[in-house]
Amino acid sequence: YSVEAGRMQIVGNTVHDCGEGGILVHRWQQAGDGSLVTGNRIERIGARSGGTGQYGNGINLFRAGNVIVANNHVSDCAFSAIRANSADNVQILANQCLRSGETAIYSEFSFEGAVISSNLIDGAANGISIANLDQGGRLAVCSGNVVRNLVDRPPYEPYAPDVAAAFGTGIAVEADAAVTGNVVEGAPRHGFLIGWGPFLRNVAATGNVVRAAREGFAVSVVEGAGSVVIADNIIDGAERAIVGYRWSDPATGDLATGDGGGFRHLRIERNLVS
């Protein structure tokens, strides 16, 4: 548990069967930290105190900026394999994340700058979530990840119906982000969830593959939603390929064969649906 330390090298440890968390890098105020968390094996992390993500994470960054989390093997965590809360300039690279109870990799709340790349996620309620434009969360690249075998059951009773509706999603993103070269297979709800209500701005989702999802892409069409490009993706075996949403409610038919359904913020082109 690193608190206000900074420039730590947390390398090559085995952490298992913990009641609340695995490796934690925290700061009292949001600031640069510069720690490296690499090459660790983390298994069977519980959340005895309950909550909705404060506990039960394999690797947890809180307010710690400029941290690299890479090449870790994280399995069987009650909530996230890797959770970065208000962590600026985080890089989450080439981690193995197996059987996470909630969202396998989370970059959330008031962060600016996240690179989430080359991770393998097998088993989770959500794969990757890059969230909270409402709190200033923005600026991300999500590329080259494999996300598979998701479920639509969270590890707690959802506190609102729209929260429950978000589980079973491969990759979710909101603002100032490039989402490219990812593969999602086996998502009970959406392969990709782009935006939430008006919290959507400047997202490019290109060159991804979605297989065996109920819907390939769900994208916000609420008033105030910002620019989105969904292009050059392959969507195979989905009930519907690309659907506009107002929060948790579908608001359009399948947009994959059209031009964005008349929504000026939305460009959809050259996607292959089978």
pLDDT in tens, 12-28: 999 999 999 999 999 99
Q: What is the pLDDT of residues 204-225, one digit of tens each?
A: 999 999 999 999 999 999 999 9
* CATH assignment at residue 253: 2.160.20.10
The pLDDT score that the predictor gives to residue 162 is: 72
For the cut 90, the answer to whether the pLDDT of residue 102 exceeds it is yes
Please give the residue range of the domain that contains residue 88. 2-273
As a whole-number percent, the residues of the chain with pLDDT over 70 amount to 99
Record the tokens describing residue 261, joined without a space: 């359904």
Domain count for the chain: 1
pLDDT, mean of residues 113-121: 99
Span of 43-52, 154-163, 205-214, 246-255 with lowest mean pLDDT: 154-163
Contact of 230 with 219, CB cutoff 8 Å: yes
pLDDT, mean of residues 98-108: 98
The pLDDT score that the predictor gives to residue 156 is: 84
For the cut 70, the answer to whether the pLDDT of residue 259 exceeds it is no
pTM of the model: 0.97
